[in-house]
Structure 1
C-alpha cells in the first residue's frame, strides 16, 4: 500500500494493557491453591508473565500445537510459583491453568481505556490492537470486552492467526504495511517489556511502556514514554491531564 505520511496510529496490547490480567490469575490461585489475602499476587503474576514470554520465545513464538501450548502454560505456573516457595506437580499446574482460562472472560476494561480510544478516534487517529496468543482465545476476550463495537476487526491483529509473534518486528511491519503507515507515526502501548517494548522498538515505532505494575526493565532498550495509569496514557497521547 502507498505510504500515508500524515496518518497517526495507536495500537494497544490486549492482556494487562486494556484490562486487568491480574484478576483471573488471583482467582485461579485462590480457587486451586487456597492462597490467602497476604499472598504476593502481583509479583507472582509478573513472574508468570515473564516465564510465559520467555518460554514462548524458546518455542519460536506462541506454540500452535496443543501439546506444546499446554506444556508451556503449565510450566509457567510451576516456574513462577516455585520462586514463592510453592512447588506444584504438573496436574495441579494444569488445574490452575484451566481455572485461569475460565476466569479470563469475566473481565472489564481499565477505567479510562474506552474513553482514551474514543478520544483518539475522534481526532482521526487509527486505533487497533496487536496481541499474542491463539486466535479463538484472544477473540473471546475481545468479545468479552465488547471491543468490536469500537475497533474494526481489520484493525485487530492476533499473532496466532498471522504466524508471527511479538517481539518479532515483522508483526509490527505487517501492520504498518497494511495501512501504509510510516513507523514515526505509529505508537504502541503495552505492558510487556520483552514483547511490547523490545518488539515495537525493533520496528522503530514510538513505544509507550504501560508499566502499571512498577516492574524493572529487562534490557537496555529505551521506551519513548513510561506510563503507570490511563491518566498518564491520556496525557501522553492527547496532551491532556
Structure 2
C-alpha cells in the first residue's frame, strides 16, 4: 500500500507560532526604541502575550506607556510585525520527520494568514523544497481560509488523488479538521504544550481521527488510515 499523501498545517504544527510572535515583538520594539525612545516595548508585548491575550497587544501596550494608539501607528506596527523576516525554526520532531528518507509519500501544506507573512515563515524554515505543493489561502483573498473547502479541493486535484489517500496534520480543532473530515481525508491533530489554540472540538465533525503529541509518532499513526 502506498504511503498516504500528507498535508500539513504550518503554525503550531511544524514550528511554534509563539516564536513568530516573539520575533515580531523584537522587530517592533527596536522600531519603537529608535522612534520614541521606548526601551521595553518588546518585553511588554511578550508579557501580555504570555497571559494568553493574543489580540490588541500593541494598543494595550501603547496605552500602558501613555502613548496614543492612533490608527496610523497601529497600522505601522502591524506591518512591521507581519512583514518581518522571522527568527523561527522547525520544531525538532518536525525537522526529524521532514528529513525521514524512508517516507516516500508526497507532502503538501495549507496555511492561512497574510500571504507575505506566511511566505516569510516558509522561507525562514527552509521547507519549500520538502513540499510538493504549498497553498497560502490568503492569496485568494478574504473568505477562503479554513474551514473553506477550496484549499482541500485544490490539493486533491493537484495531487490527482482521491480523498481517502489524503491525511491532514494540524493543531486547531476549531477549524482544521471539519472540512477534511467531511471530504473523507484522514485527520491527525498534533497537540503541543506551547501551542496557542487549545479549544476542544465543538462536536464529532470537528474532531480529528487521531491525536499525537509529537511528529515522531506520525508514521505509526498513519497505519490506521
What's the TM-score once normalised by structure 2's chain length?
A: 0.70
Does structure 2 conserve the Cα–Cα contact (< 8 Å) formed by 1:108 and 1:145?
A: yes
Does structure 1 conserve the Cα–Cα contact (< 8 Å) formed by 2:83 and 2:120?
A: no
In 2: Cα distance, 1:28 partner to 1:19 partner? 15
SS of residue matched to 2:168:
strand
Does structure 1 conserve the Cα–Cα contact (< 8 Å) formed by 2:23 and 2:87?
A: no
- Cα gap change, 1:40 to 1:215, in 2 (>3 Å): farther
The alpha carbon displacement at 1:186 in A equals 1.0
Counterparts of 1:114-153 in structure 2 under 5 Å?
114-119=95-100, 122-152=102-132
Partner residue in 1 for 2:86: 105
Greater Rg by CA: 2
In 2: Cα distance, 1:168 partner to 1:80 partner? 30
In 1: Cα distance, 2:149 partner to 2:104 partner? 25
In 2: Cα distance, 1:168 partner to 1:236 partner? 26
The alpha carbon displacement at 1:100 in A equals 2.8
Partner residue in 2 for 1:19: 15
The alpha carbon displacement at 1:188 in A equals 0.7
SS of residue matched to 1:123:
coil
In 2: Cα distance, 1:195 partner to 1:104 partner? 27
The one of 213, 216, 219 aligned to 1:231: 216
Equivalenced residues, count: 200
Counterparts of 1:52-67 in structure 2 under 5 Å?
none
Q: Kindly report structure 1 stretches of 4+ aligned residues shifted beyond 6 Å.
A: 79-82
The alpha carbon displacement at 1:92 in A equals 5.9
Does structure 1 conserve the Cα–Cα contact (< 8 Å) formed by 2:8 and 2:170?
A: yes
Does structure 2 conserve the Cα–Cα contact (< 8 Å) formed by 1:12 and 1:190?
A: yes
CA offset digits 1:144-186 (Å, max 9, x no partner)? 211123224xx11121334532111232122112222122221
Partner residue in 2 for 1:205: 185
The one of 1, 5, 9 aligned to 1:9: 5
Does structure 2 conserve the Cα–Cα contact (< 8 Å) formed by 1:29 and 1:96?
A: no
Counterparts of 1:77-116 in structure 2 under 5 Å?
77-78=55-56, 90=71, 93-94=74-75, 96-103=77-84, 105-116=86-97
Partner residue in 2 for 1:219: 202
What's the TM-score once normalised by structure 1's chain length?
A: 0.66
Unmatched 5+ residue regions in structure 1?
49-76
Does structure 2 conserve the Cα–Cα contact (< 8 Å) formed by 1:189 and 1:208?
A: yes
In 2: Cα distance, 1:136 partner to 1:35 partner? 25
- Cα gap change, 1:135 to 1:206, in 2 (>3 Å): same
In 2: Cα distance, 1:20 partner to 1:151 partner? 19
In 1: Cα distance, 2:148 partner to 2:169 partner? 16
In 2: Cα distance, 1:124 partner to 1:201 partner? 24
